[in-house]
Structure 1
């Protein structure tokens, strides 16, 4: 297990400061995935994340930088992982990934899981979780906090095991 090294925050209103910490996470996660694939080529990687971590895992799997990212910021973003890295990723498990509606409302680009990762991704959203279900103006609710108890972690574990 590897915890991504970045300053996770729920202060979406801080704009560029929030984006900088998130980009730090993208560099760290992508670097660790690439390093593991290069140094341990027989290792099967399972990516996972909850809420902001799910967004980070989703962006790491993207095949391209989202077109919604303003041109003046593109140079600061990590390049997408090389396609051959996808062969080392067995599964991607996402819990409460912020919906594209939520991301857009908070000034972030939408997440597009890359085509090499989509078939091995499980994207779980609890009923009534306004962060991931696309409800306009969605705010954290009890449902967004219930992934440890609602059985979805078991679903994700079974999915990951089936892809190893």
Structure 2
């Protein structure tokens, strides 16, 4: 199974007999690397190995034959999405006076669309209380077990 890691990798294993497999790494239908894998019973992690070359989309073709049955597995790693938003501040002053009004603008690339929340605070107030925002994510409501039991008793008996 493919692993969520920084470089393309997968987990492969066998239970009681050795497993012979072939791992082929492709990009755009061109073979980059071929590995002959011999696995003893247990699990092992395998990776593409050249993390310095970030080539995408990278495809793995894994082939194994066990008891006369042909097994093939394919997985494709796409380029991870860039999480950095290219944004520029326009006309933002570094220092403003107390109780003064400040306006500023944000510039995004033409094709980008984003909802942006900006918070500006007075850094000098950090010495009294840190300017941090407490966020508590929503949780599923807690339903105690006796309530669930009572609900099913009511629906089955009608009382």
Q: Which TM-score applies when normalising by structure 1?
A: 0.18
Between Structure 1 and Structure 2, the one with more strand by share is 2
Structure showing the higher helix proportion among its residues: 1
Q: Which structure: larger Rg?
A: 2
Higher relative CO (CA 8 A, sep ≥ 6), structure 1 or 2? Answer: 1
